[in-house]
Amino acid sequence: MTADDASADDADSDLDLDLVELAKRRGFFFQANGAYGGVAGFYVYGPQGASLKRNLEDAWRDRFVTREGHVEIDAPTVMPEAVFEASGHLDGFDDMIVECPECGESHRADHLVEDATDIEEAESIPTDEVEALIAERDLRCPTCGTALADVPVSEFNLMFGTNIGPGTSSPGYLRPETAQGIFAEFPRLKEYARGQLPFGVAQIGRAYRNEISPRRALVRVREFTQAELEHFVDPERDDPDLERVADVELPLYAAPDQEREEGSVEVLTVREAVAENVITSEWVAYYLGVATRWYERIGVDMDRFRFRQHLSGELAHYASDCWDAETEIDGNWVEVTGFAYRGDYDLSKHAEHSDEEFTVFRQYDEPVTVERATVDPDMSYLGPEFAGAAADVADALEDLAAEAPDAFGGEDVTVEVGGEPYVVPVEKTGFGVEEVTESGEHVTPHVVEPSFGVGRLVYTVLEHAYREDEVDGERRSYLELPPELAPTTVGVFPLMDKDGLGDRAREVADDLRAAGLSVTYDDSGAIGRRYRRQDEIGTPYCVTVDYDSLEDDTVTLRDRDSTAQVRVPIDELPGRIAALRAGGGTEFADVGDPVDGGAGAGVD
pLDDT in tens, 319-339: 778 999 999 998 889 999 999
- The domain locations on the chain are 1-93+158-244+280-359+444-481, 94-156, 361-440, 488-594
∠ CA 169-172-176, rounded to 5°: 165
Question: How many residues make up the chain in this entry?
Answer: 604
* pLDDT the model gives residue 213: 83
∠ CA 339-343-347, rounded to 5°: 110
* pLDDT the model gives residue 12: 43
Residues pairing with 449 in the sheet: 340
* pLDDT the model gives residue 14: 42
* pLDDT the model gives residue 597: 57
pLDDT, tens digit (0-9, with 9 covering 90-100), for 556-570: 999 999 999 999 999
pLDDT, tens digit (0-9, with 9 covering 90-100), for 338-353: 999 999 999 999 999 9
Record: fold of 488-594: Rossmann fold (3.40.50)
- Whole-model pTM? 0.84
**CATH tag for 94-156 (out of 3.30.40.230, 3.30.70.120, 3.90.550.60, 1.10.340.70):** 3.30.40.230
* pLDDT the model gives residue 156: 85
DSSP state of 175: -
Residues pairing with 223 in the sheet: 208
Burial string for 413-436 (b: 16+ CB within 10 Å, else e) reads bebebeeeebebebebbebeeeee
Report the first-to-last Cα separation within the chain, whole angstroms: 41
Give the SS3 label for residue 359: coil
DSSP state of 537: T
* pLDDT the model gives residue 438: 81
Low-confidence residues of the chain, pLDDT below 50? 1-15, 598-604
Residues pairing with 100 in the sheet: none
Alpha helices in 41-197 (DSSP H): 47-61, 81-87, 89-92, 109-116, 127-136, 179-183, 186-192
User: What mean pLDDT value characterizes the chain?
Assistant: 91
* pLDDT the model gives residue 452: 98
* pLDDT the model gives residue 92: 74
* pLDDT the model gives residue 317: 66
Q: Which long-range contacts (CB under 8 A, 24 or more apart) does 183-187 make?
A: 183/87, 183/230, 183/346, 183/347, 183/350, 183/447, 184/75, 184/79, 184/83, 184/350, 185/73, 185/75, 186/232, 186/347, 186/350, 186/358, 187/356, 187/357, 187/358
* CATH architecture label of 1-93+158-244+280-359+444-481: 2-Layer Sandwich (3.30)
